[in-house]
Chains A and B, each alone.
Chain A
Amino acid sequence: MRGRAGAVRPATGMAFAAVLYLLAPVFAGSPYVLFALTLTLCYAIPAVALNLLLGYTGLVSLGHMGFAGVGAYVTALLMKNAAVPFAPALAAGTLAAGVVGALVGIPCLRLRSHFFIIVTLAVGLVLFLLFNNLDWLTGGAAGLPGVPRPHPINLGFAVVDPRRPVGFYLVAATLFLLVFAVQYTLVHSDFGRSLAAIRQDETLAASRGVDVFAHKLAVFALSAALAGLGGGLLIDFLRAAAPQSFGFLEDINLVLIVIVGGAGSLFGPLLGALLFIALPETLRIADTYRMVLFGAALLALALSAPRGLSGLAAAAFRKLRPQASA
Chain B
Amino acid sequence: MAAILEIEGVTKSFGGVRAVDGASFSLAAPGIYGLIGPNGAGKTTLFDVICGRQFADAGSVRLAGGRIDGLRVHQRARRGIARTFQECRVLAEETCLDNLLFAAQDKQLSRELLRMLRRACPQPGIVEEADRLLDLVGLRRLRAEPAGNLSYGQRRLLEIVASLIGRPRLLLLDEPAAGVNPALLDVLRDCLRRVFTERQIVLLIVEHNMEFIMSLASHILVMHQGRVLEQGPPAAIQASRRVIDAYLG
Complex Cα–Cα for A193 and B82 (A): 19
Complex Cα–Cα for A193 and B72 (A): 21
Interchain nearest-CB distance for A171 vs B (Å): 25
Does the CB pair B116–A189 fall under 8 Å? yes
Complex Cα–Cα for A179 and B89 (A): 34
Q: Which of A46-54, A195-203, A228-236, A315-323 contacts B (4 or more CB under 8 A)?
A: A195-203
Complex Cα–Cα for A215 and B105 (A): 15
Contact with A207, one of B83, B93, B112, B119 (Cβ below 8 angstroms) = B83
Q: Does A211 belong to the interface (CB within 8 Å)?
A: yes
Interface residues of B in 28-74 (CB under 8 A from A): 51, 53, 72-74
Does the CB pair A208–B112 fall under 8 Å? no
Contacts of A210 in B (CB 8 A): 74, 107
How many A-B residue pairs have C-beta atoms within 8 angstroms? Tell me.
94
Subset of 29 A-B contacts with CB under 8 Å: A1-B95, A1-B98, A2-B97, A4-B93, A4-B98, A190-B105, A190-B107, A190-B112, A191-B112, A192-B116, A193-B98, A194-B102, A194-B105, A203-B89, A204-B91, A206-B72, A207-B51, A207-B85, A208-B74, A208-B77, A208-B102, A208-B103, A210-B107, A211-B72, A211-B74, A211-B107, A218-B109, A218-B113, A326-B144
Q: Does B131 belong to the interface (CB within 8 Å)?
A: no
Contacts of A8 in B (CB 8 A): none
Q: Which 10 A-B pairs have the closest CB atoms?
A: A209-B77, A189-B116, A204-B89, A191-B112, A206-B73, A209-B107, A209-B78, A190-B112, A211-B74, A210-B107
Given the interface pairs A196-B93, A200-B93, A208-B166, the reply to whether A2 lies near B73 with Cβ below 8 Å is no
Does the CB pair B89–A212 fall under 8 Å? no
Q: Does A130 belong to the interface (CB within 8 Å)?
A: no
What is the number of residues of chain B that contact chain A, defined by CB distance less than 8 Å?
37
Interchain nearest-CB distance for B236 vs A (Å): 33
Complex Cα–Cα for A60 and B66 (A): 39
Interchain nearest-CB distance for A274 vs B (Å): 27
Contacts of B202 in A (CB 8 A): none
Contact with A206, one of B74, B115, B122, B163 (Cβ below 8 angstroms) = B74
Contacts of A211 in B (CB 8 A): 72, 74-75, 107, 109
Does the CB pair B77–A206 fall under 8 Å? yes
What is the number of residues of chain A that contact chain B, defined by CB distance less than 8 Å?
28
Contacts of B102 in A (CB 8 A): 193-194, 197, 208
Interchain nearest-CB distance for B158 vs A (Å): 12
Interface residues of A in 161-212 (CB under 8 A from B): 185-186, 189-194, 196-197, 200-201, 203-204, 206-212
B interface, CB within 8 angstroms of A: 51, 53, 72-75, 77-78, 82-83, 85, 89-95, 97-98, 101-103, 105-107, 109, 112-113, 115-116, 119, 122, 144, 162-163, 166
Q: Does A214 belong to the interface (CB within 8 Å)?
A: yes
Contacts of A218 in B (CB 8 A): 109, 113
Additional A-B contact list (8), CB under 8 Å, known A193-B102, A196-B91? A1-B98, A185-B119, A200-B93, A201-B91, A201-B92, A207-B82, A209-B107, A211-B109
Interchain nearest-CB distance for B124 vs A (Å): 15
Interface residues of A in 1-41 (CB under 8 A from B): 1-2, 4
Does the CB pair A204–B90 fall under 8 Å? yes
Interchain nearest-CB distance for B231 vs A (Å): 26
Contacts of A326 in B (CB 8 A): 144
